[in-house]
Structure 1
Amino acid sequence: MKLKEAYIEVEPGIELFVQEAGSGEPLVFIPGFTFTTEVFSEQIRYFSKTHRTIVIDPRSHGRSTLTVHGNDYVTHGGDLQKVLHALKVKNATLVGWSFGCLTAWEYIRQFGTEGIKSLVFIDMPPKSLSLKQDTDWVEGPLDDLAAAYTNYLRHPKGQREFITAYASGVMVQRKLTEKELSWVVEQSLRTPYYIAANLFSSGLFADYREEASKSSETTPTLYVVAEHWAQTAIPYLEKLAPKASVKALGGHLMFWEHGEKFNKIVEGFLKGSLD
């Protein structure tokens, strides 16, 4: 696998780091909150055999430029359009994970689905908060999310504690080794806590239900949701986006922990033969 790397300027002084490999119809992977291209290494290896596989570090993530402005998903959606234009990407499948889904939905809000072949959303509700927590698929209880913002994402120690707890309790279904946990936490810490807090609040207050509903009517769409909230997420999505396909697998980081199963699900979806 020959991996190409580039920096694409999305505005003066702001560059996004991009990796790509392979040829064919493009797959564009967008990592989630404070994470980087590295989480999709198994997907790059697998899908680059058959597709032009592209992974992006959003602004203030990974090797992209750290900046104190534009750390919101409205800006990230515009950044994505600029990257696709610079790389001459057409007929793409967008694959968003976690808050990376918000980037994809924001792109749809601003630019529509023309030129998008299909959509894959990994474990993210289109609206994070709701008072109807018994029936709506949300990111978590309101009090817990408020506590994460006010008690943890206000200083470096809190960011480390928050990501450590989330990685151990939500991301995977097994006990992480010390080395694995350290790698996950270090991924997040490449984004400073004060930027992470901005991204967190921007994501929690977003509402992309309309984009999620309308895009699934015209564009083949797959949701892969974590098993721990599948009983809520699946009926919610069946009502909001009835034409979309939905699969449950693993925890929040299922494409890393259960890479082979995840890749087969996405491959089946891309081929139009999803079970």
Structure 2
Amino acid sequence: MTNGKYIEVDPGVELFVQDVGSGDPLVLIPGWVFSAKAFASQVEHFSKTHRVIAIDPRSQGRSTMSLQGNDYITHGKDVTKVISELGLKDVTLLGWSFGCLTVWEYIRQNGTDNVKAAVIVDLSPKPLSRDDENDWVEGPLEEIAGAYTQNLRNPEGQRAFITEYATEVMVQRELTEDELQWIIEEALTTPYYIASNLFAAGMFSDYREEAKLLIEQVPTLTIAAEHWSETARSFMQRISPEARVEILGGHLMFWEHSDKFNEILEGFLKNDA
């Protein structure tokens, strides 16, 4: 990725940030253990009309691997520093997966004054609940606990977890060997002992208040995977009747169905944001 720079967010901790294009700022925040490389199609497409800021979060991708701050409170502070350092005004924030937690945490810390619009890609503001049938959750409590206590204890377990998630949840078609290897290598850039911290921090989050605030104060679009479908829609509309939800593909829909995703996002940015 070109036009990359490093921005120091804490002493000894730098985030890799791609800054490309001009116009209204669109800030892209990837999910758990991924880098902004996942957004390659969106960077290419939207940098023609926007200033696109694609961030590798702390301990992910090309950013510094840090033993401190591997939680979404700190990730929110990090994004605040990036936005301030780059002098961004009236930003559109787009978070994917646990990157949505960073968006909501930014709102918790800063309010909506500097936010023009927001896009939430496939994550509930409360990822874990005992009410598996009516709440939009990442999985049953026992399954999530098993992933944390068993898979994310060593590199082999982390690799197995990512492989299963990539093939069963992230995409709808069969991945090629090269594609699967790319996803695994992206995820394993973050060591298992940091990945487990981020996993737990994300699962125990509750940003329902911030999600409601965001929906009611700025144009906000939620794009959920087809396997959530009506569960995601009904959950978000319980948070706020004004919630707008689109349904597309699997968890990695913006990569697998990039043209359709970009079309949905472009329509939102043109007509609503």
Contact 2:219–2:272 (8 Å) recurs in 1: no
Q: Is the 8 A contact 1:28 1:53 kept in 2?
A: yes
State the partner residue of 2:42. 43
TM-score (norm 2): 0.98
Q: Which amino acid aligns with 1:36?
A: S
Equivalents in 1 of 2:226, 2:85: separation in Å?
37
In 1, distance between residues paired with 2:45 and 2:32? 23
Query: In structure 2, how many angstroms separate the alpha carbons of the residues matched to 1:253 and 1:137?
Result: 17
How many angstroms does 1:62 deviate by? 0.5
- Report what 1:256 is aligned to: 255
After TM superposition, list the pairs within 5 Å mapping 1:1-275 onto structure 2. Answer: 3-272=2-271
Which deviates more from structure 2 when the two are superposed, residues 236-245 or residues 177-186? 236-245
Unmatched segments (≥5 aa) in structure 1 = none
Distance in 2 (alpha carbons) for counterparts of 1:198 and 1:216: 29
Q: Distance in 2 between matches of 1:105 and 1:273?
A: 20
- Asked if structure 2 preserves the Cα contact closer than 8 Å seen for 1:220 and 1:244, the reply is no
* 1:118–1:219 Cα contact (<8 Å) kept: yes
Amino acid at match of 1:150: T
Letter in 2 for 1:172: V
C-alpha displacement at 1:273, in angstroms?
Answer: 6.0
Deviation of the 1:41 alpha carbon: 0.3
1:108 Cα deviation (Å)? 0.4
The whole-number CA distance in structure 2 between the counterparts of 1:231 and 1:143 is: 23
Cα deviation, residue 241, structure 1? 2.4
1:229-263 deviations in Å (ceiling 9; x for gaps)? 11211111112122231100000000000000000
- Residue 89 of structure 1 deviates from its aligned partner by 0.8
Q: Which runs of 4+ in 1 moved over 2 A?
A: none
Q: Deviations over 1:87-128 (max 9, x none)?
A: 111111000000000001001001111110000000000001
> SS of 1:153's equivalent?
helix
In 1: Cα distance, 2:3 partner to 2:181 partner: 27
* CA distance in 1 between partners of 2:253 and 2:174 (Å): 14
What is the rounded CA distance, in whole Å, between the counterparts of 2:241 and 2:119 in structure 1? 15
Helix, strand or coil for the counterpart of 2:228? helix
Question: Aligned partner of 2:147: which letter?
Answer: A
- Preserved contact between residue 78 and residue 107 of structure 1 (Cα < 8 Å): yes
Rounded to whole Å, the distance in 1 between the matches of 2:190 and 2:130 is: 30
| Paired letter, 1:137 | W
2: CA distance, partners of 1:131 / 1:15: 37
What is the DSSP-based 3-state SS (H/G/I as helix, E as strand, rest coil) of the residue aligned with 2:227? helix
Identical pairs, percent: 59
Q: Root-mean-square deviation (CA), in Å? A: 1.1
Q: TM-score, normalised by structure 1?
A: 0.98
Structure 2 gap ranges (5+): none
Deviations 1:20-40 (A, max 9, x none): 211000100000000001000
Query: Distance in 1 between the 2:136 and 2:36 partners?
Result: 27
Q: CA–CA distance in 2 between the matches of 1:241 and 1:172?
A: 29
Superimposed CA distance per residue, residues 61-103 of structure 1 (whole angstroms, 9 cap, x where no aligned partner): 0010001010000000000000000111111100000000000
Q: Deviations over 1:119-143 (max 9, x none)?
A: 0000000001111111111111111
- The residue identity in structure 2 corresponding to 1:148 is A
SS in structure 1 at match of 2:116: strand
Contact 2:130-2:140 at 8 Å conserved across structures:
no
Within 1, Cα distance between the matches of 2:74 and 2:10?
Answer: 11
